[in-house]
């Protein structure tokens, strides 16, 4: 029997349109990770991406493994406050799970403006008693809106360093939307000693396949712009990069956590880096 669109309720109890009649990037990503929060329309679009680039599932898993290592590293550096922008559908372990495993008193604010994510937000709020977690709705391309929503929750101490996480987000922001200015504006209110952790898809190692991926997402109404290493490096301008700098994600501190084994550059197709605000 075909799946039928069903209403779902967000945190405020109102029905939320899950857009089950069209493929959605968050649910496609969930499918790449082997999740079940997706529908036929998402699976069909995701399978088309897999057809032209079978390694896309590896890219998603490498990104997830990188997030775990980066968060663990930052918590071990003494960071106790995290903002995760562009959260997506929860996938265990979530960012707060990793951070609070290192330091139970970590505070985490998740930010997304997607009604689909809102439905599953409760899964992001099961942190430790010592720490705090919150979910806020805001558009990542509007930093003022993001910061207004974060401050309203009054969870983070503005005087203490924060780790800003932009994982697999900025390739959904095209140059016409001024992505570098967005990142600068998100970083601007953070005190010295804060960090940026960012991962970003690249088409450098298979341009033809990635153009087909871009076209598939465009058919679903989602703009994608992949970037090369030099372009990704620009997101860290003015910051102090942590060694080894901007590298393929599986090469960033691989000893700090588990992840996929030996992979080619093409299979990874994802740059990542962590940098400190001086």
12: pLDDT strictly greater than 80: no
Domain locations along the chain: 56-276
Residue 211's pLDDT band, with cuts at 50, 70 and 90, is very high
The predicted model scores a pTM of: 0.90
Contact predicate 112/233, CB 8 Å? no
CATH number of 56-276: 3.40.50.150
Query: What DSSP character marks residue 270?
Result: E
The pLDDT tens digits of the residues spanning 151-182 come to 999 999 999 999 999 999 999 999 999 999 99
Across the chain, mean pLDDT equals 91
CA pseudo-torsion sign 233, 237, 183, 128: positive
Q: For the chain, first and last CA: distance in Å?
A: 57
CA distance 8 to 196: 34
Calculate what percentage of the chain has a pLDDT beyond 70. Answer: 90
The pLDDT tens digits of the residues spanning 220-272 come to 899 999 999 999 999 999 999 999 999 999 999 997 555 556 899 999 999 99
Burial 82-116 (b: 16+ CB within 10 A, else e): bbbbbbbbbbeebbbbbbbebbeebbbbbbbbbbb
pLDDT, mean of residues 24-28: 91
Residue 129's pLDDT band, with cuts at 50, 70 and 90, is confident
């Amino acid at each position: 029997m075909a799946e039928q669109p069903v209403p779902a309720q967000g945190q405020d109890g109102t029905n939320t349109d899950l857009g089950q009649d069209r493929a959605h990037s968050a649910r496609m990503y969930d499918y790449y990770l082997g999740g079940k929060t997706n529908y036929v329309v998402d699976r069909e679009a995701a399978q088309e991406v897999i057809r032209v680039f079978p390694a896309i599932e590896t890219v998603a898993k490498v990104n997830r493994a990188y997030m775990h290592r980066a968060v663990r590293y930052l918590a071990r550096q003494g960071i106790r406050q995290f903002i995760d922008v562009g959260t997506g559908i929860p996938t265990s372990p979530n960012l707060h799970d990793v951070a609070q495993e290192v330091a139970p008193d970590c505070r985490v604010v998740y930010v997304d403006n997607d009604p689909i994510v809102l439905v599953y937000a409760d899964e992001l709020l099961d942190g430790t008693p010592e720490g705090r977690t919150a979910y806020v709705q805001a558009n990542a391309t509007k930093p003022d809106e993001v910061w207004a929503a974060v401050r309203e929750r009054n969870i983070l101490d503005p005087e203490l360093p924060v780790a800003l996480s932009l994982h697999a987000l900025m390739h959904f922001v095209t140059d016409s939307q001024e992505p570098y200015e967005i990142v600068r504006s998100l970083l601007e209110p953070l005190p010295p000693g804060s960090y940026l952790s960012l991962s970003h898809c690249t088409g450098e190692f298979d341009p033809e396949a990635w153009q087909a991926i871009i076209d598939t997402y465009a058919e679903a109404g989602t703009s994608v712009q992949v970037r090369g290493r030099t372009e990704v490096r620009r997101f860290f301008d003015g910051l102090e990069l942590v060694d080894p700098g901007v590298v393929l994600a599986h090469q960033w501190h691989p000893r700090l956590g588990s992840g996929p084994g030996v992979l080619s550059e093409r299979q990874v197709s994802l740059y990542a880096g962590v940098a400190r605000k001086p």
